[in-house]
């Protein structure tokens, strides 16, 4: 046996990761349900390095050095369970199975427990960066038993992206934690994409820019604090021309956003954990609204009411949008990091949020210059309460706040939807409010359900006898 790693599931992500391993000098055993894919990979890229072609699972497992390390790159769900079952039967105690797909973290918890019973290590690893990242250096978020990282970490770190010499890969925590943080990563990805979409919408509908003009703005922004992969590719997508019509591609694509589920999972989990990830939730719902084609058709022509005037100072409004985007983006990341902390507490994972800031700086879809700032914030204060109260982010929002309000007001008076900009601003105002209307909610709950309330001036739980003499009793 001579292979250091095996990859099963050779669709584009699996193929590219296998090639990445080979290019880094590792011998890679290849396996795929249909041998045609394996042969296609070898025919096209066999020169990338040292591959071992295998046809059956037994042959595949037999080609691996011990402890055997197998990376599964198949569709999340039943397909993953089926492959795990076959592998587990052929493997021995101490061997490591890595699931590199976008698995639901609760599935990963279940699988890790089941395989542990059989003496096998199961590592649920979030892998981000798309096809290109898989080939040239993704961000990798491996969870699972710490002891398996000794045998696996160096291999994964060798193929991951690096920033300032630091690999974008680290052991995240036990069982499902790797897939949990990858899920939250994708939630933030959704929020970031939605915010960028709202900025584009404002340029188009409030300032009358065409796609090329908006592309120029994003290119410029990518030279500043907004520098990020998503801002960069936004300009490229906006500049793309449609060969059939000559129009901008973005103007001929149907405006109904699809989703495979990770954003939705993030919000479901946040609901259970009680973490207000409002930016991510708005992003998921905005995709759902865009896809509600029948309702949208029925609503065409509904009254807008009296609309305000369009902004006349183009440069000023452009800068307002930039600042609103930056502030809203800070909120989205702050909320995502809150969810990571809450998940860590709930499952007893003992995660280090600063690790995520470090490994998301390169390779992944949400890589961005400002993740360096988040890393610094966690380096200074590993237990920080919320990113938005940290000095750098606090100042960034203070610089942006007037612009942020102007953007939301202008969008509202022009009838342009900005759910993520607006809800992020409301979240910020809610968080910093001295008194929230929640006191009234508590009063109502006590009125109809005797649910009790706390007082600002003494400890304990109280109830007002609403249907009696309305005196207060201690509950
Ligand atoms: C990544 C991406 C990747 C995938 C998304 C797409 O980190 O590399 O997030 O995992 O492209 O899951 O998600 P939707 O299809 O739900 O937009």
How do residues 283-340 score in pLDDT, each as one tens digit? 999 999 999 999 999 999 999 999 999 999 999 999 999 999 999 999 999 999 999 9
Cβ proximity of 30 and 61 under 8 Å: no
Cα 46 to Cα 39: distance, rounded to the nearest angstrom:
9
**d(CA 403, ligand 1 centre) in Å:** 31
Atom of ligand 1 nearest to the CA of 366: 7
Ligand 1 within 6 A of 181 CB? Answer: no
**Per-residue pLDDT reduced to its tens digit, 245-294:** 999 999 999 999 999 999 999 999 999 999 999 999 999 999 999 999 99
Extended beta strands in 82-211, E state: 96-99, 121-128, 139-142, 162-163, 166-167
Q: What's the gap in Å between 132 CA and the centre of ligand 1?
A: 13
CA 475 – CA 443 distance, rounded (Å): 14
Average pLDDT, the chain: 97
Whether 361 contacts 375, CB under 8 Å: yes
Which tokens in the block code for residue 425?
């601003």
Q: Is 189 in the pocket of ligand 1 (CB under 6 A)?
A: yes
Q: Among 189, 363, 367, which residue has the most ligand 1 atoms within 8 Å of its CB, making it the best to mutate?
A: 189
Q: Is 100 in the pocket of ligand 1 (CB under 6 A)?
A: no
Measured from the CB, is residue 266 less than 6 Å from ligand 1? Answer: no
Active site residue 182: yes
Catalytic residue (one of 112, 189, 198, 282):
189
Residue 129 beta carbon below 6 angstroms from any ligand 1 atom: yes
CB 365 less than 6 A from any atom of ligand 1: yes
Question: Which of these is catalytic: 37, 86, 182, 244?
Answer: 182
Residue closest to 196 by CA, chosen among 229, 172, 164 = 229
Q: Are 71 and 98 in contact (CB under 8 A)?
A: yes
Nearest C-alpha to atom 1 of ligand 1 is from which residue?
A: 128
Q: What percent of the chain has pLDDT over 70?
A: 100
How distant, in Å, are the alpha carbons of 103, 132, 349, 358 from that of 183? 9, 20, 15, 17
Q: Which residues contact 155 (CB under 8 A, 6 or more apart)?
A: 4, 5, 21, 26, 69
User: How many helices (H) does the chain have, and how many strands (E)?
Assistant: 19, 11
CB count within 10 Å of CB 294 equals 7
- Assembly ipTM: 0.96
Instruction: Determine the pLDDT at residue 344.
Output: 98
Tally Cβ neighbours within 10 Å of residue 92.
Answer: 12
User: Which tokens is 252 given?
Assistant: 């001929």
pLDDT 10s digits, 395-448: 999 999 999 999 999 999 999 999 999 999 999 999 999 999 999 999 999 999
Predicted confidence (pLDDT) per residue in 167-209, tens digit: 999 999 999 999 999 999 999 999 999 999 999 999 999 999 9
Instruction: Provide the pLDDT confidence category of residue 459 given band limits of 50, 70 and 90.
Output: very high
Q: Say whether pLDDT at 388 is over 90.
A: yes
Distance 260 CA to ligand 1 centre (A): 7
**Can you give the C-alpha Rg of the chain in angstroms?**
25
**pTM for the structure as a whole:** 0.97
The pair of three-digit structure tokens given for residue 224, joined into one six-digit string: 């500043």
Q: How far apart are CA 275 and CA 332, in angstroms?
A: 12
Q: Is 130 in the pocket of ligand 1 (CB under 6 A)?
A: yes
* Ligand 1 near 128 CB (within 6 A): yes
Q: What is the pLDDT of residue 1?
A: 79
* Residue 360 φ/ψ region, left for φ over 0, alpha for ψ in the -120 to 50 degree band, beta for the rest: alpha
Q: In this structure, what is the dihedral angle of CA atoms 273, 276, 279, 284, given to the nearest 10 degrees?
A: 40
Mean pLDDT of 4-10: 98
The ligand 1 atom nearest the CA atom of 185: 7
* Spatial separation of the C-alpha atoms in residues 52 and 42, rounded to whole Å: 9
Residue 186 alpha carbon to ligand 1 centre in Å: 6
**CA–CA dist 189, 4 (Å, integer):** 33
Sign of CA dihedral 34, 35, 41, 44: negative
**Cβ pair 260, 76 in contact under 8 A:** no
Nearest of 293, 265, 304 to residue 281 by alpha carbon: 265
**pLDDT of the residue at 440:** 98
Instruction: Please confirm, yes or no, whether 247 is among the known catalytic residues.
Output: no
According to DSSP, the β-strands at 162-163 and 166-167 are antiparallel
Ligand 1 midpoint to CA 461 (Å) = 46
- Residue 95 Cβ contacting ligand 1 at under 6 Å: no
Q: Name the residue at shortest CA distance from atom 5 of ligand 1.
A: 186
Q: Are strands 5-8 and 51-53 parallel, antiparallel or unpaired?
A: unpaired
List Cβ neighbours of 185 (8 Å cut-off, separation of 6 or more).
126, 128, 139, 141, 336, 356, 360, 364, 365, 366
Displacement of CA 177 from its chain's centroid (Å):
14
Which of the 8 DSSP states describes residue 47?
Answer: G
User: What span, in angstroms and rounded, lies between the C-alpha atoms of 244 and 248?
Assistant: 10
Question: Which of 76, 100, 186, 188 best tests ligand 1's pocket when mutated (most atoms within 8 Å of CB)?
Answer: 186
Termini Cα distance of the chain: 70
Region 117-136: mean pLDDT is 97
Nearest to 188 by CA among 52, 357, 13: 357
Read off the DSSP letter of residue 387: G
């Amino acid at each position: 046996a001579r292979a250091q790693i095996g990859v099963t599931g050779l669709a584009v992500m699996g193929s590219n990761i296998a090639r990445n391993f080979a290019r880094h000098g590792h011998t890679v055993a290849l396996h795929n349900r249909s041998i045609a894919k394996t042969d296609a990979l070898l025919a096209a890229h066999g020169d990338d390095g040292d591959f071992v072609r295998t046809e059956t699972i037994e042959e595949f497992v037999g080609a691996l050095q011990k402890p055997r390390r197998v990376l599964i790159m198949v569709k999340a769900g039943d397909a993953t369970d089926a492959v795990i079952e076959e592998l587990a039967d052929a493997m021995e105690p101490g061997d490591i199975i890595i699931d590199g797909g976008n698995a639901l973290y609760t599935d990963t918890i279940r699988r890790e427990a089941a395989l542990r019973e059989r003496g096998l290590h199961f590592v649920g690893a979030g892998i981000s960066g798309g096809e290109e990242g898989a080939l040239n250096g993704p961000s990798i978020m491996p969870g699972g038993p710490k002891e398996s990282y000794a045998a696996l970490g160096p291999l994964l770190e060798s193929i991951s992206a690096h920033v300032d010499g630091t690999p974008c890969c680290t052991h995240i925590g036990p069982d499902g934690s790797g897939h949990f943080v990858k899920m939250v990563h994708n939630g933030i990805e959704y929020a970031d994409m939605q915010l960028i979409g709202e900025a584009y919408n404002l340029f188009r509908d409030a300032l009358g820019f065409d796609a090329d003009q908006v592309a120029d703005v994003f290119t410029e922004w990518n030279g500043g604090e907004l520098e990020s992969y998503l801002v960069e590719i936004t300009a490229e997508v906006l500049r793309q021309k449609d060969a059939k019509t000559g129009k901008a591609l973005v103007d001929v694509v149907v405006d109904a956003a699809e989703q495979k589920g990770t954003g939705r999972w993030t919000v479901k989990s946040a609901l259970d954990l009680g973490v207000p990830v409002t930016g991510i939730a708005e992003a998921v719902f905005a995709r759902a609204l865009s896809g509600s084609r029948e309702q949208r058709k029925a609503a065409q022509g509904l009254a807008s009411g009296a609309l305000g005037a369009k902004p006349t100072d183009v440069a000023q409004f452009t800068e307002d949008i930039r600042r609103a985007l930056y502030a809203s983006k800070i909120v989205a990341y702050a909320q995502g990091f809150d969810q990571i902390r809450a998940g860590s507490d709930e499952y007893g994972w003992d995660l280090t949020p600063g690790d995520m800031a470090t490994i998301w700086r390169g390779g992944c879809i949400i890589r961005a210059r400002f993740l360096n700032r988040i890393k610094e914030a966690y380096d200074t204060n590993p237990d920080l309460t919320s990113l938005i109260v940290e000095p750098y982010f606090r100042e960034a929002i203070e610089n942006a706040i007037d612009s942020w309000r102007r953007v939301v007001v202008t969008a509202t008076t022009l009838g342009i939807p900005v759910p993520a900009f607006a809800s992020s601003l409301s979240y910020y105002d809610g968080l910093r409010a001295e008194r929230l209307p929640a006191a009234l909610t508590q009063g109502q709950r006590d009125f109809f359900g005797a649910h009790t309330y706390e007082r600002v001036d003494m400890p304990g739980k109280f109830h007002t006898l609403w249907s009696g003499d309305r005196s207060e009793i201690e509950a």
